[in-house]
Structure 1
Amino acid sequence: MIRTEDRGDVRVVTLDRPERRNALTLSALADLERAVVGTDSPVVYLTGADGAFSAGADFDAVGEAAADGPEAIEAFVERGQRTMRAIETAESVVVAGVDGPARGGGVELALACDIRVATPRATFAETGVSIGLFGAWGGTVRLPEVVGTGDALDLSLSGRTVDAGTALRMGLVQRVTEDPRSVAEEVAANDPDSLRVLKELVRADDDREDGEAREREAFVELLAARAGDFSGQ
């Protein structure tokens, strides 16, 4: 489900599961991490296939974790958090190209990237609240950092969908263009050592562990309490 293609100084990583809107399973999360960190390319361009970025966590995988109990739920959340953290701390600059919907964990995946670029067709929503959950792959940590507390609470508590223009105004994305990959190529045209050092310096004060641990604990409690809601889905 994870395709990679190296094009000069840019590695293109594509989530390729269009029949599920590029939803992420446990194995896909591990493959995604390897695809992003296992390259010498100074820039990684991360996108989704066939008009969607990502629907986030695969619902079947969530249901399986819920059925297996709190330890499995925690392992599922930790796997997602670990992948997002690996993307955020990768030596390569990671540019997200969002075309079509990004939902739940798909928004969190975009948040883990260094630069987020949307097409005019992109939409974003943190939909977990509608089923009694929330984004637990670092979303409660990164979203307020990126858009501010007010907009983070608005998006998370309402579950509303915002378009590319609104996402740009709130700072969720940095640019809106028909060709997001051109931004990755623009970045890759610069000195690779400078790119690496700049990313390291800007990210230097990020401390995720405490926030992610609290997030993980809360998600386990919520999902364990409603595991029956996911049976037979």
Structure 2
Amino acid sequence: MVRFTDRDRLRVVTLDRPERRNALRPADLDALEAAVTGAAAADVPVVYLRGAGSAFCAGADLDVVASLSNPEAFARHGQRVANAIETTDCVVIAGVDGAARGGGVELALACDLRIATPEATFAEPGVRLGLFGAWGGTVRLPRVMREGDALDFALSGRTIDAEEALRTGLVSRVEPDPLAVAESLATNEPDALEVVKARMRDRRGREEQETAEAAAFGELVRAHAADIAADRD
């Protein structure tokens, strides 16, 4: 089950299946995608993703995985949702409190920021079952962590704590209240947030990126000229 509430400039999306550590079934993936991508249509610039109870997300529901007749389609399903999180115009922040495992790590990787509490832990334990993270995990993990750290994390299946996650780049910050970080970020200008995310996520060549960067900067200056002048004074 996935639920959300909207506040001023902020949508809080909660994975709400605490009895299964928020493990995700196909319907949950669809609901998550709709909740996150729907924020942009509702003019909500920041999305905060969290888990109910003592875990962030245990990943895919293993009862579902064990019964799959088309595992490739299930992998593609998770990839689509992760891609939707990564490419939505909204800034998406994962607030990780407690365990993030497997697909839960992969969903967090698709977010723009990962803010962990001191109690957060992370693992890709699928290798112990003959599996691996196929919701874009092998693509994003070495982009976010150093490649050597990413390989160690994914191949060992070991659990790392918040401090190691911070040291290796898996999380952006360790904070006692990740929601407060999201609330603070949501006070920034929505169009500037959207532009910064789009430019940082641009995978084109340098010249194309710099051209787009200059054009976006010009648009923002023209849109906020009065505010810029007032702040200078």
Same-fold status (TM-score > 0.5) = yes
**Counterpart amino acid of residue 45 in structure 1:** Y
Q: Deviations over 1:7-48 (max 9, x none)?
A: 111000000000100001011001000000001210000000
Give the distance between the partners of 2:154 and 2:169, measured in 1 at CA: 15
Structure 1, unaligned runs of 5 or more: 207-233
Match of 1:186 among 181, 184, 187: 184
Aligned equivalent of 1:107: 105
SS in structure 2 of the partner of residue 178 of structure 1: coil
**1:187-206 alignment runs, 5 A limit:** 187-205=185-203
Match of 1:153 among 142, 151, 154: 151
Distance 1:41 1:164 in 2: 29
Higher CA-based Rg: 2
Residue in 2 aligned with 1:81? 79
Equivalences for residues 1-233 of structure 1 within 5 A: 1-39=1-39, 40-65=43-68, 68=69, 72-205=70-203
Distance 1:170 1:111 in 2: 13
Q: Post-superposition shift, 1:154?
A: 0.2
Gaps in structure 2 of 5+ consecutive residues = 205-233
Q: In the alignment, residue 61 of structure 1 is paired with which amino acid?
A: V
Aligned structure 1 segments of 4 or more residues deviating by more than 6 angstroms: none
Q: CA deviation at 1:184?
A: 0.7
What is the one-letter code of the residue matched to 2:103?
Answer: G
Alpha-carbon displacement from aligned partner over 1:130-156 (angstroms, at most 9, x marks no partner): 001100000000000000110111001
Give the counterpart letter for 2:33 in structure 1. E
SS of 1:95's partner is strand
TM normalised by structure 2 equals 0.85
What CA distance in whole angstroms lies between the structure 2 residues aligned with 1:41 and 1:196?
11
How far apart, in 2, do the equivalents of 1:85 and 1:148 lie? 21
Cα shift at 1:203? 0.2
Q: Distance in 1 between matches of 2:52 and 2:8?
A: 21
Q: Distance in 2 between matches of 1:10 and 1:45?
A: 7
One-letter code aligned to 1:168 = L
In structure 2, how many angstroms separate the alpha carbons of the residues matched to 1:18 and 1:204? 36
The aligned length equals 202
| Structure 1 residue 61 displacement after superposition | 1.1
Compute the TM-score of the two structures, normalised by the length of structure 1: 0.85
Q: Aligned partners of 2:167, 2:146: CA distance in 1, in Å?
A: 12
1:210 — aligned with what?
A: none
Q: Which amino acid in the other structure matches residue 17 of structure 2?
A: R
What's the counterpart of residue 231 of structure 1?
A: none
